[in-house]
Amino acid sequence: MKRLRATAAGRIRLDHFRLIRRLGSGDLGNVYLCQLLRPAAPASSLYAMKVIDREALAGRQKLQRAETEKEILRLLDHPFLPTLYADFDESHYSFLVMEFCPGGDLHVSRQRQPQRRFTVSSAKFYAAETILALEYLHMMGVVYRDLKPENVLVRDDGHIMLSDFDLSFKCEVVPMLLRERSAAAGRSTTKTSELIAEPIAARSKSFVGTHEYLAPEVISGTGHGSAVDWWTLGVFLYEMIYGRTPFRGEDNEKTIGNIMKQSLSFPLTAKDLISKLLTKNPEKRIGGIKGSAEIKRHDFFKGVNWALIRTVKPPVIPRDQRRSEALRKRNSQLVITKLSRKERDQPFQIPHQFDYF
């Protein structure tokens, strides 16, 4: 992992950055677009900086969640997951400096598609990269728990990056060798072995997540593990292809009721995979025991070269769009919305109070 180097005067500090504008807000803090001010830094040295008010979180008994997120980010080294370039504390704030994704998120991208949904080939591409990210997280003992289009960002080259780990939890992973008998050929049978590194024994009883994406075992409170990520993958894939989530009700209570009781009828496209991902029993859910390998073998992903997926041209490439529309005047102007002259000339100051959802 590449870390930002401290200046000759010492460690990385807030005054080494110029905060440009707020990118988003979450339960643990706000994320800002920022620029590194070091003299030798190129004009395109843009980052996403998460600002966390530790005092506010301590008062809400959520400080440990922020510490867990930081611990997880420090572990990550994967092309579809964020790079933590620096983290530091000043006063009662914590700052996490990460990669900035100028392509926005898949929720916004879906809204721009015809009929507000992706083609099957585009959905397959984004789902495949998401599976590889979840596979790595599970191998590292991380259960993500917050997969949704809003948390899947698009890099400049069009490939994805999962974001927001404030609902994730860390657990132990004990690799196991899974042996299976293949179909009999005459009188002989062959045994196949597969190494599974999936935290299937992990258990949490926390009621966390976005209502439309909650797995039944989260709602019931009986305890859940990594299989919740495969349930949310099913909801995620359904939404990308059909433009809506499958269990949405008039309010949160009805949505939860639909998840627990409603029998879902699936449209033809991707029917088999989505139905297996949205199996209410986590032990019978595809990937629930055998992990990502079982999902990757499904016919829906036939033809996907998992080892070389980074060489595949993404459905949308933000940097190519900007060039074709002549919007890219300077690298330093790689922001989604234009800034006023006043905003450009006056450095952003950290406010005393933060807005939280």
User: Which active-site residues does the annotation give?
Assistant: 146
DSSP-derived 3-state class of residue 228: helix
d(CA 217, CA 207): 10
d(CA 200, CA 227): 7
The answer to whether residues 286 and 233 touch, using CB atoms and an 8 Å cutoff, is no
d(CA 122, CA 102): 19
Q: Which two tokens stand for residue 352?
A: 């005393």
Count of positions (residues) in the chain: 357
Q: Which two tokens stand for residue 6?
A: 């401290």
E strand residue ranges, the chain: 17-25, 30-36, 46-53, 84-90, 93-99, 142-143, 152-154, 160-162, 169-170, 176-181, 191-196
DSSP-derived 3-state class of residue 85: strand
Amino acid at 177: L
d(CA 269, CA 119): 10
Q: Which two tokens stand for residue 49?
A: 């900086």
d(CA 145, CA 224): 10
Half-sphere exposure for 111 (CA within 13 Å, toward CB): 6
d(CA 327, CA 345): 21
